[in-house]
Every structure is written in structure tokens, then in C-alpha cells.
Amino acid sequence: MLIRRPKGYVLKDNDVTPQPSYLRRREFLAAFVAAGGTLALPNAAQAKRFSQTDYAPLTGHKTGYSVKDPLSPWEAVTTYNNYYEFGTGKADPAKKAHKLITDPWTVTVEGEADKTGTYALEDLIDYNALEERIYRHRCVEAWSMVIPWVGVPLADVLKKFAPNSRAKYVQFFTKYSRKEMPGTFWPVLDWPYREGLRMDEALNPLPFLAVGVYGRVLPNQNGAPLRLVVPWKYGYKSIKSIDRIGFSETMPETSWNQSNAREYGFYSNVNPLVEHPRWSQASERVIGPQRGFAGALARRDTEMFNGYGDAVATLYAGMDLHKNH
């Protein structure tokens, strides 16, 4: 069955979804469901509990960082998540992450830097100088979304800590609270969740610290109040709910590498030529407006470095990207 998309449904390039077109999309999706369609989200009813307008507005100025594809809908971005601290199912974070206490929030900075210590979130992020960046997010599970983040460049924040000349790597930790995070009852990963970047990767202009999405403060399931976004790497590098940052001379541990080194390397660059034992990395399922149209899920070929090669390929000059996967 072929279902034609109404005009105006597919967002134009650089569109940051002004409210009217967003509302039109919601009305359209609601009509689609009422007509017997399905959004094919993990739990369409659940999605209703997280309407965009329930979240405080947070505007960022527009930037050139964008993607020539329609945005994935708010409903998908906020209900189809990986956040294992709240369970391993895609719908678990949206159901359980409200338990996470995100205010007040501090970030502790340690290791090879001159300005270590514990900072209030408000002292690290200037909420009056936020940017909006639209990035494609590619999960190692071979699906992708296009997401409008609101935040600040990671490099700007890291420089405040004055990392010293021994700082070759930076490591990030997610808050670990057994009380607030029911998924941490199981030893799925060695909690707290941790990730790392080489310093030159971290200081590249692309990595972004997001505090918002879709013009609203981050829902907890997306990593409130502060999460990393590293668009040329698989989604798991984009660590959520960061409360500790450490600088080191040696390569730090990363959760997925610790749990399964054969499947997950330190670098984790999106690379269609390096196969993963369980998911093909050659193409990806697009979680976007197309999802739910008579079950016809759009696919696209996965791009080297997720399409960000011009900005990052030089970081890996001379490296064997099969060995350093």
C-alpha cells in the first residue's frame, strides 16, 4: 500500500521545526493513528506522556550544523532510547528515567588539569549562549535518527578546566545512583557508564554537550541534564547524564569496550567497512517520519564517519581503522 505524505510534512533543509510545522506533524500523526495506523514506536501510548510542550523551552541560535534529511519526530527521539541504567529495552528509559534527580546537578573534574574541582552545572553552561545543531545519530544497532540538539561545543567547556600537557585523553562518567536507576540493579555493564575520547578528538569543533533537544530542556531519557553528542562515532560514545570528567595521560576505560572488547573498540568511529558481529554497518534503518508508513521503513547507506569525514578524517591519518575500531 502506498500512502502519500501530505505536503509540508517533510521538513525542509535547515528547518529547526518551528512550532506550527511541528504541530502540523503531530496532528498528522494523530490522524494517522486514529485512522488505524501505527507509529511503530515501542509504546505509542507512552509517547503521549512526553509531549514536547511539557518541557521548558530552551532556544539555541541556529548554526550551519545541519543534515539534509527530515528530523526524526519528537515522539521517536524521546521514546526510542538506549539508556541501560533504566533497562535494556528501547521503551524502558521513557518509562523509568523520571526517577533520576537532575536538579541540583554538579560535575566533578579530576586528573590532568589546572582547574579541577566540583562545578555546578550552571557554572559550566551559559544558558544564554546556546546553539542548536542538527546531527545524524547512528547507533551501532544499525538505526539512525536526525536530532536537533541544543547545547554548547564540548571544547569550550573543556578549555575552562585548563587541561595540562599530560592530558592526552578525557573520560566521562554517568551519574550512578542505584536508587534512581533501576537498571543498575543488574550487572549489564560495569557501572557507572563511562566513555572517553582522545584530547584532539574532544577539542574538534563537532563534539557537543547537549542540555536540550527540539528547543526544550532534555528529557531524562535523552540524558538530562548534560549529555555528550559525538556525531561521527556510534551512539554509545554519546554518554548521558554526565557528572564526572577526568583528564589522563593514558587511554581510559570505556564501558562497552570493557564489556565486550571484540565488538566495541575505543574509537568506535562510524565505518561501513568495519563489520560488527551482530549488526551490519553498511546500511541503517531510518527512525524518522517514514517510520510507520505501512511498515515501510526507510533505509540508507551508512556513510564513512557518519558523513562527517571532512571534519574528522585527519584525526586518524595513518591509523589502521580495522584494528582501531
Ligand X SMILES: Nc1nc2c(c(=O)[nH]1)N[C@H]1C(S)=C(S)[C@@H](COP(=O)(O)O)O[C@H]1N2
Shortest spacing between CB 318 and Mo ion, in angstroms: 28
Q: Which residues of 167-188 are buried (b: 16+ CB within 10 A; e: fewer)?
A: bbbbbbbbbbbeebbbbbeeee
* Under rule CB under 6 A, residue 193 binds ligand X: yes
Measured distance CA(143)–CA(29) in Å, rounded: 21
* Under rule CB under 6 A, residue 173 binds ligand X: no
Specify the residue, 168 or 276, whose C-beta has the smaller distance to ligand X.
Answer: 276
Helix (H) or strand (E) holding 148: strand 143-153
Q: What is the footprint of ligand X within residues 130-169 (CB under 6 A)? A: 137, 139
Shortest spacing between CB 127 and ligand X, in angstroms: 20
Among 171, 222, 281, 302, the residue binding ligand X under the rule CB under 6 A is 222
Among 75, 85, 92, 112, the residue binding ligand X under the rule CB under 6 A is 85
Burial bucket for residue 273 (CB in 10 Å: 0-12, 13-18, 19+):
exposed
Shortest spacing between CB 205 and ligand X, in angstroms: 21
Please choose which of Mo ion, ligand X, none residue 281 contacts, taking the beta carbon within 5 to 8 angstroms, the exact cut-off set by kind: none
**For binding to Mo ion (CB under 5 A), which residues are involved?**
82, 139, 235-236
Of 219, 204, 207, 217, residue with least CA distance to 172 = 207
Q: Which residue has the cell 564526572?
A: 244
Specify the residue, 66 or 174, whose C-beta has the smaller distance to ligand X.
Answer: 174
Measured distance CA(283)–CA(272) in Å, rounded: 7
Q: Which residue is nearest to ligand X (CB)?
A: 235
Bridge partner list, 153: 208
Please choose which of ligand X, Mo ion, none residue 193 contacts, taking the beta carbon within 5 to 8 angstroms, the exact cut-off set by kind: ligand X
Among 206, 239, 270, 312, the residue binding ligand X under the rule CB under 6 A is 239
| Amino acid present at 184 | T
* Under rule CB under 6 A, residue 197 binds ligand X: no
Under 8 Å between Cβ of 162 and 113: yes
The total number of residues shown for the chain amounts to 325
Shortest spacing between CB 85 and ligand X, in angstroms: 6
Specify the residue, 81 or 254, whose C-beta has the smaller distance to ligand X.
Answer: 81
* Under rule CB under 6 A, residue 174 binds ligand X: yes
Measured distance CA(308)–CA(234) in Å, rounded: 12
Specify the residue, 222 or 248, whose C-beta has the smaller distance to ligand X.
Answer: 222
- 143-153 vs 208-213, strand pairing mode: antiparallel
Shortest spacing between CB 239 and ligand X, in angstroms: 5
* Site of interaction with ligand X (CB under 6 A): 81-85, 137, 139, 174, 193, 222-223, 235-236, 238-240
